[in-house]
Amino acid sequence: MDILNLQYNFENMRLGEYRLLNKQNFLFLLFLNIIISVSTINREYNLIITYGNLSPDCVQVNVSQQSSLLVNGQFPGPEIRATYDDILIINVFNKLESEDLTIHFHGLFMNNTPHLDGVPYISQSPIKPNASFTHVFRVQLVGTFFYHSHVGLQAITVFGPLILEDKLSQSLSDIVLMLSDWWHTDRLIQEQGLFSPTFTFVGEPTSILLNGKTMYNSSYTCSHGYHVINVTKNQMYRLRIIGATTLATLNFAIAGHTLTLIEVDGNYVKPLEVSYLEIASGQRYSALFITNNITDNYYMFADVRWRKNIAHNGIGILHYENASDAPNTIVPDKSLLPYLPPETNIYLADSLQLQNDTLSLPSNADREIILIGTQVRNYDGGIRWAMNNVIYISPNSSYLLNDLYFNNKSLISSSNDLSNLTNGGYYAPDNTYPIRKNEVIDFVIQNTVALNGVCEGHPYHTHGHNFWDISYGDGEYDPNNLSNIHVIPHPILRDSIFVKPSAYAYYQYVNSTNYKKSCGWKKIRLIADNPGIWPLHCHIVSHMMMGMQIVLEEDLQDLRILYAKDLLTSRSTSIFTTIFTTIPVVFYILNFFIYEKLRRKFGLEE
């Protein structure tokens, strides 16, 4: 079976699934479309957050200091899987003794339900100990997503996959792989260190985990060993890779296998063959791979890039049916691991192209906001991150929620007057960046050298939106210096990007004495088409906690919140819904007759 023989079903472009096109597939999809075109399903899940003892890399941590969290008694958390247009009902139970909790559904837009976005005191009040909260929302996207806590460093272990499928999907064998980072230091001690006047950073990860497992080194082994994925030879699989790290950016590959990229952050792209992937925190990819004709065990490897790497143990095993047992000991020879190249300032985005361009890139922006991230000393001597010289301090009350959501108090009047804003569009009273309805905004995210003289890479994530990844450059952004503006040939939509250091990276061993010196930037383009209050922040969780975040206050006068009662009582399908959801049948009929005509003309086999 050859990946190049895959054809993309253009009639199903909105939801997208790669499949082999044949008569049997067509008839199955036609029948399936008729069955499901008038159906909407309620899918209910419970997420119960508790304390638990973990040793995912085989190192036993002092139980008296253990503050690891589990979801439904497991790590990672259970998979949530739903279909386009389903109603998801997710009950979150906080069983922690003294910690607040929220759950964010990473990559979902939460149209008309911004109060369910899971950011404490920005989209909702946190879930208090021994309390619960129910999220009810309609599935309006398909692709690879995940959920995670948005309180403190809880996301180190409070996360799980969220897979949203096309109603007409005839899926390939589907494998979910979550990449995460792990520390032997107690989570609560790490949090205290971030806000201490003496400041202690969380440190570099001691281990990189594949679906919650690895082995630290040869001195520590345990029964669970490496994570094992079971496959059969000569088969095609879809690998959904989720960057659930809270700090590390990783390179990932599978020995003896190439990957054909088809999805980026829930957006389908034209197939691109790669030998490895660079995955920053918050990013997701789907890739197809075909297993070999020879049964064996092949190592998967995820290794840290753009930071000091002390782990080198992000290892898993692709185990072929009828091969010898998957090894449960440390990899004996590093040459068995796939090759992962060193850091490069070349972006994968230069080679990507959206499969479907129905939402075309606006040719110009209405406004440009430059966001300069700097590391600064706090008044108490601690270290913080600031955006445009403002250290974002998370609110500890619901004043923002009450004023902006429920009392409909918004800075933006009917005249949409933004003339009184300063500092790149910042409004200090609300600690927000107000944006107008349907405004097209370019955000330039500028890296600068940190206090230690090193320029770090930063992954950024927007809540409530996709954006186009349009350009990047070295040093300092200057719109008039065209030689330093690299325009991405075919901008793709995504919700999480990585801004690389163009100089003074840790591995270059050349530090800067100017700790605010510019060292690389990226520009994204966003359409304000989703009323609500939406964070835009560094997805390194410790950096976000230290202040590397802004909040967009978007078109609140047009916000129409849908509550659970609205969604759960709107399941009946009208005749119009039936008509419009069965329109794909017409396309499939046309597709079938065209296929048959071409097959007969050219003598193709079925």
Question: What radius of gyration do the chain's Cα atoms show?
Answer: 24
pLDDT score recorded for residue 328: 87
Q: Give the angle subtended at the CA of 350 by the CAs of 349 and 356, to the nearest 5°.
A: 65
CB 133 within 8 A of CB 150: no
Q: 359 pLDDT band (50/70/90 cuts)?
A: confident
- Mean pLDDT for the stretch of residues 541-549: 98
Whether pLDDT at 331 is above 60: yes
Q: 507 pLDDT band (50/70/90 cuts)?
A: confident
Q: 202 pLDDT band (50/70/90 cuts)?
A: very high
CA–CA distance, 528 with 530 (Å, rounded to integer): 6
**Tens of pLDDT along 63-77?**
666 789 999 999 999
**Tens of pLDDT along 116-131?**
999 999 999 999 999 9
Whether pLDDT at 25 is above 70: no
- Mean pLDDT for the stretch of residues 245-253: 98
Q: 24 pLDDT band (50/70/90 cuts)?
A: low
Higher-scoring residue by pLDDT: 319, 7? 319
- Mean pLDDT for the stretch of residues 204-229: 93
**Are both 42-342 and 367-558 of the same fold?**
yes
Q: 400 pLDDT band (50/70/90 cuts)?
A: low
- Mean pLDDT for the stretch of residues 144-163: 98
Q: 551 pLDDT band (50/70/90 cuts)?
A: very high
- Mean pLDDT for the stretch of residues 515-535: 96
Q: What are the helix (H) ranges across 352-500?
A: 399-401
Whether pLDDT at 152 is above 50: yes
CA–CA distance, 489 with 487 (Å, rounded to integer): 6
Domain ranges of the chain: 3-38+572-602, 42-342, 367-558
Whether pLDDT at 418 is above 80: no
Question: Which residues, at least 6 apart from 133, have a Cβ–Cβ distance to it below 8 Å?
Answer: 91, 92, 94, 102, 124, 127
**What architecture is the 367-558 domain classified under in CATH?**
Sandwich (2.60)
Residue type, 548: M
pLDDT score recorded for residue 354: 93
User: What is the residue-averaged pLDDT of the chain?
Assistant: 87
CB 568 within 8 A of CB 135: no
3-state percent breakdown (helix, strand, coil) of the chain, nearest 5 = 15, 35, 50
pLDDT score recorded for residue 439: 96
pLDDT score recorded for residue 417: 58
Whether pLDDT at 5 is above 90: no
Residue type, 43: R
pLDDT score recorded for residue 4: 43
CATH entry, 42-342, from 3.100.10.20, 2.40.30.40, 2.60.40.420, 2.60.320.10: 2.60.40.420
What does pTM read for this prediction? 0.89
Two tokens at 245?
Answer: 């790290």
CA–CA distance, 479 with 489 (Å, rounded to integer): 18
pLDDT score recorded for residue 304: 97
Query: What DSSP string runs through 521-556?
Result: EEEEEEE--S-EEEEEEESSHHHHHTT-EEEEEE-G
Q: In 19-45, which positions are buried (b, 16+ CB within 10 angstroms) versus exposed (e)?
A: beeeeeebeebbeebeebbeebeeeeb
